[in-house]
Amino acid sequence: MYATHLRCLRCGTIAPLDLRAYLCPHCGPGDDSLDPGIYDVQYDYKEAAEPFLAQIRKPRAQSDIFRFLPLLPVQEPGQVLPTGGTPLVSAPRLAGRFGLKALYLKDEARNPTRSLKDRATAIALTIAESEGYSDLYCASAGNAAISLAGFCAQQGLTCHAFVPHAASATRLEWLYRYGANVHVSSGNYDQAFAESEDAGQENGWYSRNCAYNPYLVEGKKTAAFEIAEQLDWNAPDLVVAPVGDGCTLGALGKGFRELNTIGLTQRIPSLLGIQAEAVQPVVQRYYGEPVDMEEHETEAASIAVRRPRNFLRLRAELDASGGSMLAVTDEEMHIAQRILAREAGVVAELTSATTFAGLIRLSSIKNLQGQTAVLVITGGRTDE
């Protein structure tokens, strides 16, 4: 394993990899005015480069995320549901709308439980099982909890899912089908998150909360590795993803930076993060605007996070890539969802449709002529 240590993204403190306190003890969980002291996994890229290159040059007998083992924080591939290897769908009809050279959809709905969350869950279960955990927990409005429940069912582990009071009945039904222990909060996602952390720490369960557990971002970044590989190791000009806590887009940014660091790509793409107009704390914070903490509603429940816990990671990746943030309305999401289905043949959940809605908005303020763009379709459930 070429992971070497953890580094706090708030204060820079170094910690060993075997630390099981998910947050920096000097910074803690923060509060409404301070970001939590989240860790980032550090690697010896000089040592990891050659094994990584050797691994990806092998015949494609393996297509899951563990193809990228030298840049993952685990010793051996996990015996989990096969995750990753999702298609990059060309969308020439949509590209023509914006004068793009090419537009691709990274269809993460092809993962075992139909979302990108499976990449993080695969790492969570791999580590949890290697360290003897039998119980795992997470807070989620749907996809992360369903992912954890499905993976735990396959491995015979116990899933504790903490969901907000407004979680959809269909998603709750899936959790029960997988045999999860479901805890329905009386509040929103942020309250469910706090309740999950209290219970997880009290009972000694393993955390699948990607916003805190630094190892899970490492699973998500493999989507960036695949995108670059599917484009013959040419990074696109633009990568667009929905933003809730900020873990996914932050992970994608890290993945593209790592490929550039070890010399596989010549550049890193610009990142574009999309939030719902009703709940847009990352947009507001990134541009130095007052954060609206009122309880506005959006149908894009998966990104309705009022206190984004991975803001530090995401801000760093946006800055490094020359990226930006935008917010779109629920109506724009619905329009985008229909267009994606009718003109690209891809069924995207409403949260994922924010990516195309955001691209439409971006095209009204920026010339995209001749660029290559990738929309990350993070999930394909239509029951938000």
Q: How far apart, in whole angstroms, are the C-alpha atoms of residue 212 and residue 33? A: 17
Residue bearing tokens 């309705």: 304
322: CB partners within 8 A, 6+ apart: 270
Q: Do the domains 88-115+216-377 and 116-214 sit in the same CATH topology, yes or no?
A: yes
Beta bridge partners of 139: 162
Question: What pLDDT sits at residue 384?
Answer: 57
CATH class of the domain at 116-214: alpha beta
Digitized pLDDT (tens) for each residue of the chain, 384 residues in all: 999 999 999 999 999 998 778 999 999 998 877 899 999 999 999 999 999 999 998 876 568 999 999 999 999 999 999 999 999 999 999 999 999 999 999 999 999 999 999 999 999 999 999 999 999 999 998 899 999 999 999 999 999 999 999 899 999 999 999 999 999 999 999 999 999 999 999 999 999 999 999 999 999 999 999 999 999 999 999 999 999 999 999 999 999 999 999 999 999 999 999 999 999 999 999 999 999 988 899 999 999 999 999 999 999 999 999 999 999 999 999 999 999 999 999 999 999 999 999 999 999 999 999 999 999 999 997 665
Question: What pLDDT sits at residue 61?
Answer: 57
Q: Which fold is adopted by the domain 88-115+216-377?
A: Rossmann fold (3.40.50)
Predicted TM-score (pTM) above 0.95? yes
Question: What pLDDT sits at residue 20?
Answer: 79
What six digits make up the tokens of 158?
Answer: 């116990």
Q: Give 243-312 as a DSSP string.
A: -SSSHHHHHHHHHHHHHHHTTS-S--PEEEEEEETTB-HHHHHHTTPPP--S----S-GGG--SS-TTHH
What six digits make up the tokens of 93?
Answer: 């009809």
Question: What pLDDT sits at residue 342?
Answer: 98
Domain spans, the chain = 88-115+216-377, 116-214
Q: How far apart, in whole angstroms, are the C-alpha atoms of residue 115 and residue 381? A: 8
